[in-house]
Structure 1
Amino acid sequence: MTRIVAVTGVVPPHRYRQQELAEAFAAALRLPADSSRAVLDRVHASAGVDTRHLALPLADYAALSGFGQANDAYLAAALDLGEQAVTTALAAAGLPADAVDLVISTSVTGIAAPSLEARLAGRLGLRPDVRRLPVFGLGCAAGAAGVGRLHDFLAGHPDGVALLLSTELCSLTLQRSDGSPANLVAGALFGDGAGALLAVGPEHPAHGTAPGPAVVAARSRLYPGTEQQLGWDIVDSGFRIVLGAELPALVRLHVAEEVEGFLAAHDLKPGDIGAWICHPGGPKVLDALAGALALPDTALELSRRSLAAVGNLSSASVLHILRDTLALRPPQPGTYGLMLALGPGFASELVLLRW
């Protein structure tokens, strides 16, 4: 089986309290001190977020005049964060950059062609013949999906090394003239960060010595008729978020059943999972998942902790939570874990892990 040998999570240096961000967002939207401002304050207070990190100093966002400037800022910050995440992961694994056979890079908060991993190849020391797979459009689900696709590749390359890089700068997508409920929620939830994960195949020398879990299996699932629940509308000012109010209900209706079916295929039940690495889509989504699967209060504690500390980092969140799991609550050998993330489609990505 595929073995995860290192996982890292990094954030930009510009850290702000949730109230500071609420004040700045209200000023950008020019919200008066009336019911509209009261709604924004309630959304920020109920988001489960205490602090977030931004790609730029807060005062610099007002100078971004359009999508082009925002995307230029994305490229500069994403390359620096991505390099930091990958070099930290390589050092932790004790592997050189030229050992990497495949790199999957995922981001849904900016556009890059050449893609981020191509621009980073020389800076990192990746081989000229490294296989590359840039991914856009999976959104928050891409971190878990990327782990699944690394697993697929290493099944056919059992002595190989594969790298997943997730770089999400959500603050640069925020629409500063959009007072819609979806944009208010996005302004309260999403933060900036990156993560990197290295995995090796079963015949690689590092497979038997790494403390990380093995990837047992992965599953992707689309839920027909839910395409309008999550994603982007592309407008003149960039990415305008689509965020349906029905998402928690869909989690209760579909995702819990999908999790139970996936686990049952491996003779497991939710109670057999000792480590839950769940994307923190927001407090309501986490509550819906915990309630539908009858999880104990502690099961999603690290997801809620990550949400409070850095916000929703889109596809990078599950990598940050897996890092925290290994550092703060390392499972005992034989423990099963489940990585779960949701994204546009509406879709779920599940990865079964075992320590």
Structure 2
Amino acid sequence: MPTVSRPVVGLPPHVLDQSDVLDHLTRRLRDNPKLSAIRRVLENTSVQSRRAVIPLDEIVAHTGLSKRNGLHLEHAVALATSTALDALDAADCTTNDIDALVVANCTGHALPGVDAHLVNTLGLRPTVRRTPIAQMGCAGGAYALARAAQDLAAHPDATHVLVVAVELPSLSYQADDLTISSLVSGALFGDACAATVVSADDTRSGLRLGVSWEYILPASLDDMVYRVDEVGFHFETLPSVTDCIIRTVPHLAEWLRTSSPGPQWTPQFLISHTGGPKIMDALRDGLGCSEELFACSRASLRELGNTASVAVLDVLARAWRQASAPPAATGLLVGFGPGVTTVAIRASWN
């Protein structure tokens, strides 16, 4: 089975304390009669702090799509390069060992993409296979790991795939967009990067990837979208997303039941995308999991916000440090994204 080495998480330098963000929004909404209700909604995200590539006063002073998109490429490549190099060291690999590169990034647009830039900044072989993932949103991290495992299965001579997820949603903040969806996004998402190496050598220590499952919920295309206008990107997540997850979980549970070695299988660990408190509640209740399995996901959301495709790798890194699951424990890695899409991978500790 493909084995995931310890992920390395790279964080930008600027810390956004949630109280400062709420104070900024309060000043902007001081004449809004729904201010108290809006503050309660934002406080219920459970986020306490996040990271950003530029300070808060620059984030709220929007300078247009062109400049913001340029900043995205500059900072995404720099952060991804340093994080990927640390991940190669953690996996005891060199750039010459890498046969394929999978990059998840949905918060900016670039052509050539971040993946092509990384081939140059990292000094990867010119023949490296590249898989850029740009439209999977928060499911991108799980999707990237599944694609890495499939690349190794399709190329028996391959040994290592480098996986990188980098998201900078702060650069999409729209100070003049006062819709509830935009306000919640501004209080929920955080900048981050994570990288890891997926290896064909199943004798390595790490997280072993088993079979994967993908599901797109019919008639849910409008529940989670990136809208683009002359000003820039507007991320919109409708409250109905929670209901979408509730409707999806029975299908996930059925896949787990039919692909399990025994009828009573339950996950001993869960590497869950953070999403938001209600998303995790829906997954917990739908699968009948213990709340303890969400400790790392809740901590990631609290300390870094929702980092989109980076989230599952950050949660995996936290689970790795805590080592709370017993050796050879079996579990599940899962992410949710636009579509509404679910990507799940059976996994075990080696």
Fold shared by both chains (TM-score > 0.5): yes
Aligned CA distance change for structure 1 residues 31 and 229 (closer, same or farther; 3 Å): same
Residue 63 of structure 1: how far off its partner (Å): 4.2
Q: Where does residue 336 of structure 1 map in the other structure? A: 330
Unaligned runs of 5+ in 2: none
Runs of 4+ in 1 over 6 A off after TM superposition: none
1:80 matched to 2:78: yes
Residue 270 of structure 1: how far off its partner (Å): 8.0
In angstroms, what is the RMSD of aligned CA positions? Answer: 1.6
1:166 matched to 2:165: yes
- What letter is aligned with 2:225? G
Matched residues, percent identical? Answer: 28
Secondary structure of the structure 2 residue equivalent to 1:224 = strand
Instruction: Determine the C-alpha separation between the residues in 2 that align with 1:285 and 1:128.
Output: 41
Q: Where does residue 258 of structure 1 map in the other structure? A: 252
Equivalent runs, 1:143-154 vs 2, <5 Å: 143-154=141-152
Q: Where does residue 68 of structure 1 map in the other structure? A: 66
Instruction: Determine the C-alpha separation between the residues in 2 that align with 1:199 and 1:131.
Output: 14
Residue 26 of structure 1: how far off its partner (Å): 4.1
Instruction: Determine the C-alpha separation between the residues in 2 that align with 1:290 and 1:152.
Output: 28
Aligned CA distance change for structure 1 residues 304 and 228 (closer, same or farther; 3 Å): same
1:320 matched to 2:319: no
Would the aligned equivalents of 1:260 and 1:270 in 2 still touch at CA under 8 Å?
no
Aligned CA distance change for structure 1 residues 237 and 263 (closer, same or farther; 3 Å): farther
Return 299-308 or 285-294, whichever deviates more.
285-294
Residue 256 of structure 1: how far off its partner (Å): 3.7
Would the aligned equivalents of 2:257 and 2:265 in 1 still touch at CA under 8 Å?
no
Instruction: Determine the C-alpha separation between the residues in 1 that align with 2:232 and 2:2.
Output: 38
Q: Where does residue 93 of structure 1 map in the other structure? A: 91
TM-score by length of 1: 0.93
Q: Where does residue 272 of structure 1 map in the other structure? A: 266
Secondary structure of the structure 2 residue equivalent to 1:6 = coil
1:14 matched to 2:8: no
- What letter is aligned with 2:274? P
Return 258-267 or 4-13, whichever deviates more.
258-267
Unaligned runs of 5+ in 1: none
Q: Where does residue 131 of structure 2 map in the other structure? A: 133
Would the aligned equivalents of 1:54 and 1:192 in 2 still touch at CA under 8 Å?
yes
| Corresponding residue to 1:108 among 106, 109, 126 | 106
Instruction: Determine the C-alpha separation between the residues in 1 that align with 2:18 and 2:275.
Output: 17
1:121 matched to 2:122: no
Instruction: Determine the C-alpha separation between the residues in 1 that align with 2:331 and 2:114.
Output: 30
Instruction: Determine the C-alpha separation between the residues in 1 that align with 2:323 and 2:219.
Output: 38
Q: Where does residue 235 of structure 1 map in the other structure? A: 229
Q: Where does residue 213 of structure 2 map in the other structure? A: 219
Secondary structure of the structure 1 residue equivalent to 2:268 = strand
Q: Where does residue 347 of structure 2 map in the other structure? A: 353
- What letter is aligned with 1:96? T
Equivalent runs, 1:183-222 vs 2, <5 Å: 183-201=182-200, 204=201, 207-208=202-203, 210-222=204-216
Secondary structure of the structure 2 residue equivalent to 1:199 = strand
1:149-189 residue CA offsets vs partner (Å, 9 max, x unmatched): 11111112244211111110011112211111111110111
Aligned CA distance change for structure 1 residues 18 and 271 (closer, same or farther; 3 Å): farther
TM-score by length of 2: 0.95
Q: How many residues align?
A: 348
1:311 matched to 2:295: no
Residue 223 of structure 1: how far off its partner (Å): 1.1
Instruction: Determine the C-alpha separation between the residues in 2 that align with 1:14 and 1:109.
Output: 18
1:287 matched to 2:287: no
Residue 92 of structure 1: how far off its partner (Å): 0.4
